[in-house]
Structure 1
Amino acid sequence: MCSLLFTKIILCQTYLNDADTNQNNKTIFIDNKTECQMYQRNCFVKITSKYLIRYVNMIPSKSKLFEFNQKSFKKCSLNQTLSKECSKLKNHIPLNKELYLLNIKPKLVGRAYLDIEYLIDDNYSRVIKRHIIVIKSPKRFIDVFQIFYISFVSFLVAIIMGILLDTESLIQIIKMPIPVIVGFLSQYLLMPLLTFGFIKIFKLKPIEALALFIYGCSPGGVGSNNWTIIFNGDIDLSAILTFVSTMSSIIMMPLWFYTLGKTISIKAEIKIPLFKLILNLLVTIIPCLIGIILAKKFPKLKQTIMKYAKKIIVFMIISFLVLNLVSKYYIFKLITWQQWVTGPLIPWSGFAFGAFFAWITRRPIKQIYTISIETGLQNVSIAFLIIMLNFESPDSDYALLPLIAVSTITTVPLWILFLINKFISRKNTKSLTQSSDFIKCNYNKNDIKIDVNLTNSLNDQEKI
């Protein structure tokens, strides 16, 4: 049996281009694959070879997916006393080869390669075995609860949207459909094209590009109704646009996904069956119809929901963000500046282009505000749901990176505008109060002068 003179193990971060395979008598071939979970104490990589492994070296990468040391490398041989770990694999030890166990400690989700280089003869001929390491997200209670909670939030918000929908306003808007057409085109023509353009400009990885494209094709969210109220927009138009975009999503999302989005999904090597996609969308469509039916059967229900709808939706948005931060906190170690920029840039551009599109079609100022907000604020929970139900880890974790950025800082421009508007209105109110006080003060002084003159004239008359 030959002895191995040099062995080098290289840890490479996933999604990198493969090295050249045929240089200096070097041959690279895939050995096998090992799957681990984050926080798993003992994850053993099984390596079989007829060569002895004497030395293990790891070149550190910028984002280390797992760790190991010299002591974590063990040899299992039938001729030796088997350790506790090797005894479990006694029946898998080949006769003409040695079995090596490498105990790794997963740190982050992702894919990595272990390249084991062997010097097989005196002519310096080398062979490399490439071992794939797949580290998946942990299966904890909070991870299962997150999927359930996102589904529940989407379901409940859709019911509230159906209850609050004013059917009479819907009939009036149908008679004058121009604002609805403008809002619909902004939502389902402008946003998908904008998203595709940003994906090409920033050259995102296929899995992240696919996630952003799903978000760019998503319908409007209920949060847009609250911002429409804050900016004194057309609340009836906002509710109708959200309803129309939600109902249309069952046609428009598959249409975009299987046409322009197909080029992205092929590169990402992920297929979402049409039937599954439609089922995911029905999670919001069916509850919305249930809400409309409930509003008709129980007219007082709408007034009750109106009192608490804003608080409920705000609570759900905050709890949604907190749950993502707690369950997926390790994602912040993977997220890059490109994802922080590209993700929020899509809704921010939606605000601007939606307002511009409404302005060139000569919409009133209230409708411009409404269409702008409806275009930019999309239902990110639908994108989360589609990814978490159809993508496997670690692909789902990497796909969520830009969406985490979207859900975290999308409304920052709206908050800035709101605070500026509030500051200006307070300043104007203060100036108006001061001017009214000045007028009142002058009015009182004139009254005093008039009273003094009257008193003097009366005194003169009495003297006479």
Structure 2
Amino acid sequence: MCPLYPVHLVLMYGALVVCVWTAGIGAVVASVSEVALLKVRLHINDTPVDTLDIQEDEEKMVIFYLDDFPLQAAGDIFIKDENYDKLNHLEIQPERIPLDSLSKEKPDPYSLSGSFNVSGNFLGFTQVRLVLSDGNDQELMASEPIKVKVQRGQRVLDKIFIHVIILMVIVAYVNMGCAIDLKIIKETLRRPVAPAIGLASQYLFMPLVSYLIGYGIFYDTHAMWLGLFLTGCSPGGGGSNIWTYLLGGSLDLSVTMTFISTVTAFAALPIWVYSLARTIVQDGHYTNLPYKNIAMLAIGLVVPLSIGLLIKWKSERVALVLKRLLKPFSILFIVFIMTFGVYANFYIFAYFDWKVAVAGLLLPWLGFAFGAVVSLMCHRKLEEIIAISIETGIQNTGISIGVLKVALQDYAPMGDIAVVIPIAVATMTPIPLTVAYIIKRVQECRGKAGNLKVEVPFDKDDNHALSASATPLHKNASILA
């Protein structure tokens, strides 16, 4: 008969066995998973570096030094790209270096040196580790993660796009100068109700709504939030004048509002940036705002318009020809931006998730809606409603891009990633305007078709009615005769 042990002794014995078993398993797991630290120093062009900073399409040779290296070690050194966003930011050659091919630097403490090449493929952040393997995929030692920044390089395609856009904008404004009426502009400035509505919508509603949208969508991605907010703080873009003309709005009012909002940006932009931008990214550089770019925008608006007005004053015939060319040239301008512009900035689609898409849609669309509603409440004419609505919704994304480049210059390529937002806004903005223009053209074609039907010869019933109605006139004529 087996002796009966007290219950508490059985429980103590079981707990002891479990603890010993758990400790043993933990030691085995620790011995398997624990990897010793590999001490690494990096040099580029004989300069020690802690971070690898390269541009797209750029290649750099990195020399590494392995300090306090164990004499008995054998195997290979792997350079591993630990990429967590699934974007191919860089290319490493070679990825595997045999230990016996490394150079021996000094015997005590033992140190080895070697090199590998790093090429930038796509902007963003990643990190690499140097790992000592035994040759059978067993990691023995590993370095601390080495941060890598891949910045967007200056491409020829980008320069071509920018210069072509500048040229097309100048030509468009010269044509607009031939189409505007200075008397209407003077009357608008004399009673600036419509410009005041546009200015309030531009610099009160748009900054606030962009801040709120960014808070709701990009609260955990501050660079994107800042990009959206700065886009909402920017003045009206030159595209607003073209779209206003195509959609039948008041071109005179649109040009006037664009000039006023550009000049007002000298005061409004720093006020918003200093008040709210620091609540998004506190350590950004906000003192060097692109006032030079804003001044160039104002000059780039006034000078071509003045040339157009001068042509109109000197030759009405030439001005009429240029005015007729404004619509087809505007369509060409928009098609160029929506095709070549998208191709030149195609990289943004790598970061184009649902958040970027929603932000790119909401900001201009809410601007269009707010400008239209406020104009209706103020009982403005249809032409003015169209102009105010478009001027409110279209932002000059070039200004926001310039501010982002300066504010986040010490955190590159964060600025290039944040630029995705203003580019997304510029890409999404023409969608509702294009739909509206197509609807307008369809209605115009139907109206022309209706006018053609009116000019068709009368049928038999119409001739019979006309002759019947003409009979009394003839009778009266005979009586009078």
TM-score bracket, shorter-length normalisation: 0.7 to 0.9
Matches within 5 A, 1:228-243: 228-243=244-259
Distance 2:190 2:55 in 1: 57
1:273 matches 2:287: yes
Which of these residues, 344, 360, 366, is aligned with residue 343 of structure 1?
360
Percent of residue pairs identical = 22
How far residue 294 of structure 1 moved from its aligned partner, in angstroms, is 4.0
Matches within 5 A, 1:351-366: 351-366=368-383
Closer/same/farther in 2, CA of residues 370 and 287 from structure 1, 3 Å limit: closer
1:66 matches 2:90: yes
Tell me the secondary structure at the aligned position of residue 133 of structure 1: strand
Q: State the one-letter code of the partner of 2:87.
A: S
Deviates further, 372-381 or 428-437: 428-437
Q: State the one-letter code of the partner of 2:211.
A: F
- 1:79 maps to which residue? 104
Distance 2:163 2:338 in 1: 15
Question: Does the 8 Å contact 1:158/1:285 carry over to 2?
Answer: no
- 2:191 maps to which residue? 176
Closer/same/farther in 2, CA of residues 6 and 70 from structure 1, 3 Å limit: farther
Deviates further, 215-224 or 390-399: 390-399
Q: State the one-letter code of the partner of 1:79.
A: K
How far residue 107 of structure 1 moved from its aligned partner, in angstroms, is 2.7
- 1:20 maps to which residue? none
- 2:51 maps to which residue? 33
- 1:219 maps to which residue? 235
How far residue 109 of structure 1 moved from its aligned partner, in angstroms, is 0.9
Which of these residues, 363, 376, 386, is aligned with residue 393 of structure 2?
376
- 1:442 maps to which residue? 461
Closer/same/farther in 2, CA of residues 287 and 69 from structure 1, 3 Å limit: closer
Distance 2:175 2:449 in 1: 38
Deviates further, 132-141 or 315-324: 315-324
TM-score between the two structures when normalised by the length of structure 1 = 0.73
Matches within 5 A, 1:9-48: 32-40=50-58, 43-44=61-62, 46=64, 48=66
Q: State the one-letter code of the partner of 1:222.
A: G
- 1:401 maps to which residue? 420
Which of these residues, 277, 296, 300, is aligned with residue 314 of structure 2?
300
Matches within 5 A, 1:388-427: 392=409, 394-427=413-446
Tell me the secondary structure at the aligned position of residue 64 of structure 2: strand
Distance 1:212 1:48 in 2: 45
Tell me the secondary structure at the aligned position of residue 374 of structure 2: helix
1:189 matches 2:204: yes
Distance 2:204 2:158 in 1: 34
Distance 2:260 2:336 in 1: 27
Deviates further, 286-295 or 347-356: 286-295
Deviates further, 370-379 or 39-48: 39-48
- 2:303 maps to which residue? 290
Distance 2:338 2:448 in 1: 36
Closer/same/farther in 2, CA of residues 186 and 292 from structure 1, 3 Å limit: same
Query: Which deviations, in whole Å up to 9, do the C-alpha atoms of 1:11-63 show, x marking residues without a partner?
Result: xxxxxxxxxxxxxxxxxxxx811122323455537354433684645566422
Tell me the secondary structure at the aligned position of residue 146 of structure 2: strand
Distance 1:262 1:155 in 2: 35
TM-score between the two structures when normalised by the length of structure 2 = 0.71
Q: State the one-letter code of the partner of 1:285.
A: A
Query: Which deviations, in whole Å up to 9, do the C-alpha atoms of 1:358-398 show, x marking residues without a partner?
Result: 11222223322221111112223443455567765523431
Question: Does the 8 Å contact 1:73/1:103 carry over to 2?
Answer: no
Ranked by relative contact order (alpha carbons within 8 Å, sequence separation 6 or more), the top structure is: 1
Question: Does the 8 Å contact 1:331/1:401 carry over to 2?
Answer: yes
Q: State the one-letter code of the partner of 1:377.
A: I
How far residue 329 of structure 1 moved from its aligned partner, in angstroms, is 3.0
Closer/same/farther in 2, CA of residues 312 and 425 from structure 1, 3 Å limit: closer
Q: Give the superposed CA RMSD.
A: 4.2
Closer/same/farther in 2, CA of residues 73 and 361 from structure 1, 3 Å limit: farther
Closer/same/farther in 2, CA of residues 351 and 42 from structure 1, 3 Å limit: same
Deviates further, 194-203 or 146-155: 146-155
Distance 1:240 1:295 in 2: 15
Q: State the one-letter code of the partner of 1:200.
A: Y
Distance 1:366 1:224 in 2: 13
Closer/same/farther in 2, CA of residues 441 and 377 from structure 1, 3 Å limit: farther
- 1:202 maps to which residue? 217
- 2:68 maps to which residue? 50
How far residue 346 of structure 1 moved from its aligned partner, in angstroms, is 0.6
Distance 2:400 2:459 in 1: 59
Question: Does the 8 Å contact 1:110/1:134 carry over to 2?
Answer: yes
Number of aligned residues: 411
Closer/same/farther in 2, CA of residues 394 and 407 from structure 1, 3 Å limit: same
How far residue 135 of structure 1 moved from its aligned partner, in angstroms, is 1.2
Closer/same/farther in 2, CA of residues 336 and 242 from structure 1, 3 Å limit: same
- 1:98 maps to which residue? 112
Distance 1:93 1:285 in 2: 67
1:108 matches 2:126: no
Query: Which deviations, in whole Å up to 9, do the C-alpha atoms of 1:48-89 show, x marking residues without a partner?
Result: 443368464556642232344774446675438xxxxxxxxx
User: Which consecutive residues of structure 2, in runs of 5 or more, have no partner in the other structure?
Assistant: 1-32, 39-48, 134-139, 472-481
Question: Does the 8 Å contact 1:6/1:118 carry over to 2?
Answer: no
How far residue 330 of structure 1 moved from its aligned partner, in angstroms, is 3.2
Distance 1:324 1:217 in 2: 23
